[in-house]
Amino acid sequence: MADSPTVHQRRLRAELRAAREAAGLTQEQAAQELEWSLSKIIRIEGGTVRVAVTDVRILLQMYGVAGERVNDILTLARAAREQGWWNAYRKILSQQLLDLIGYESAAKVIRQFEPLLVPGLLQTSAYAREILFQLRGSDSGADIDDLVEVRMRRQELFERPDPPQFFFVLDESAVHRLVGGTAMMRAQLAHLLEMAKRPNVTIEVVPFNAGAHAGLSGSFQMLDFAAPEDDPVLYLEGVQGEIVGRDFREDVVRYRERFELLRGMSLGPEGSAVLLSGLAEKL
């Protein structure tokens, strides 16, 4: 699997926090010792800033980290400062979405549930443009072009030599919603059927007759990584989106159980393909 600066940044902040705790220092004490603001330490360990390599070196010295581990962490700090392609879109993407794209680029397994729309990773460019236009309005044409471009570039994951394993669960309402007219929706359904033929892609639909279910509270995405030190990541869809990870293991477990419950309520891959084919034929 590929790595990404986002994953390196996550590992770095975990290493720095572990080193501080091993040294028996609180964040306040570390800040006082270095005559830094407390907020700087908090931002570094929270991953909300790109920490300079020189600052990492200073922190490691204060924490008493020595030997080969220093070189390993400094190498990690340099890797964390590299730029992913998604950083070129920083002006139009939230930090949460930037982080999600960074995590996607390094994921081994991606699981996603969508109750209302076709997932972005499975959208055609026409479908994506129509959705973004409706959400953003006609006054943001240039941004919509860039956002569609981002969505299509995210889909390059499927063409990687070592692509992730994908599991998508959709509520039936997502594939019934007529987005952009019959021709556009027919093409979108055809695209879902083609993607479902890939050996690393599973698409399942929870039918209307399944009744109320745990996914009605909203969409979510879970990402697993190949390296054992990288904890799973949970992305909850909202106005800006929210990344939930290392410090919220119970939430990650709860949503993983929810995802498997939804899979169990679905029509399965074969039944879902029959449903999608039937809907496409009716358009």
Residue 127 and residue 26 share a domain: no
- Residues of the chain where predicted confidence (pLDDT) is lower than 70: 1-2, 138-141, 238-241, 244-247
118 and 252, same domain (yes or no): yes
The residue from 55, 80, 105 where one domain ends is 80
Same domain, 134 and 234: yes
Predicted confidence at residue 239, as pLDDT, reads 58
Q: Based on the fold, state whether residues 59 and 193 are members of the same structural domain.
A: no
Q: Are strands 201-206 and 220-224 parallel, antiparallel or unpaired?
A: unpaired
Q: Which residue has the tokens 């007219």?
A: 181
CATH of the domain at 55: 1.10.260.40
Please indicate, yes or no, whether residues 100 and 58 belong to a single structural domain of this protein. Answer: no
Q: Report whether 131 contacts 123 (CB < 8 A).
A: yes
The verdict on 29 and 144 lying in the same domain is no
pLDDT the model gives residue 259: 98
CA 130 to CA 117: how far, in whole Å?
12
**3-class SS letters over 133-177:** HHHHCHHHHHHHHHHHHHHHHHHHHHHCCCCCEEEEEEEHHHHHC
**For position 136, what pLDDT does the model report?**
81
> Based on the domain organization, do 94 and 73 belong to the same domain?
no
DSSP state at residue 35: T
Q: What is the pLDDT of residue 247?
A: 60
Residues 109 and 207 in one domain: yes
Q: Which of 61, 80, 99 is the last residue of a domain?
A: 80
Contacts of 254 (CB under 8 A, 6+ apart): none
Q: How many domains does the chain have?
A: 2
Range of the domain at 190: 86-282
pLDDT of 250: 85
Please tell me the predicted confidence (pLDDT) of residue 114: 97
- Do 195 and 61 share a structural domain? no
Q: Are both 266 and 150 inside the same structural domain?
A: yes
Residues 29 and 100 in one domain: no
The two tokens of residue 69 are 């581990």
pTM: 0.90
* CATH number of 219's domain: 3.30.870
Please tell me the distance from the alpha carbon of residue 59 to that of residue 236, in angstroms, as a whole number. 33
**190/51 same-domain check:** no
